[in-house]
Chains A and B, each alone.
Chain A
Amino acid sequence: GIQVEQSPPDLILQEGANSTLRCNFSDSVNNLQWFHQNPWGQLINLFYIPSGTKQNGRLSATTVATERYSLLYISSSQTTDSGVYFCAAMNTGFQKLVFGTGTRLLVSP
């Protein structure tokens, strides 16, 4: 099945800083999603982005499917951005979402 790797595993930022999270996947995908898990365990869908670029406020994401990676950009980070960011991917040959191990982000005031 598809393998999903995320980097960095941990990230500590000062409020107001920008960051880039990376997700590499081992095979072609027809589904790529980014999620944020808050400290209480709730997973929030940020982007459905199997290819191309999307933006939502301070967050944006880009997936380059031909090179098998996706990037999540967080600008002007806030303490409420803290938590774990997951990417998850699926390809047509393996119809289930496979999650990466996540990037744990801590934004300090």
Chain B
Amino acid sequence: KAGVTQTPRYLIKTRGQQVTLSCSPISGHRSVSWYQQTPGQGLQFLFEYFSETQRNKGNFPGRFSGRQFSNSRSEMNVSTLELGDSALYLCATSSQGLETQYFGPGTRLLVL
């Protein structure tokens, strides 16, 4: 089985711009979770999608949003980028929920 894929792998943006990141889950996985990793805050949960519905949400501002498509692929969007949004964004997938999570390689976002 192919693993979790994330695109793009690296991204440089400037403050005020918006960005869209993509995550393709392992075949058959319907749950996709997104995490932000920074040196200061560690790994923090953003949100989880299951069958095209947001099921859980972390403590992030509304500038962070996501969606899931019928093929379980998910995108997350960050609008009005701030310097503090520079981070490694990871997605993780599982078949039903938050049991064994399989992570993608991440997208490194740098905001200048």
Which of A's residues lie within 8 Å of B, judged by CB? 31, 33, 35, 40-45, 48, 86, 88, 90, 95-102
Report the separation of the CA atoms of residues A31 and B100 in the bound assembly, to the nearest whole angstrom.
Answer: 9
**Residues of chain B with a CB closer than 8 A to A88's CB:** 43, 101
A96's contact among B98, B103, B105, B108, by CB below 8 Å, is which? B98
Cross-chain contact B98 with A95 (CB below 8 angstroms): yes
Contacts A43-B103, A96-B98 aside, 11 further interface pairs with beta carbons under 8 A come to: A41-B106, A42-B105, A43-B90, A48-B100, A90-B98, A95-B55, A95-B98, A96-B58, A97-B101, A100-B42, A102-B42
CB distance from A3 to the nearest CB of B (A): 12
Q: Count of A-B contacts with CB under 8 A? A: 49
Q: Does B64 contact A (CB under 8 A)?
A: no
Cross-chain contact B101 with A45 (CB below 8 angstroms): yes
Report the separation of the CA atoms of residues A14 and B44 in the bound assembly, to the nearest whole angstrom.
Answer: 32
**Residues of chain A with a CB closer than 8 A to B108's CB:** 41
**Residues of chain A with a CB closer than 8 A to B58's CB:** 96
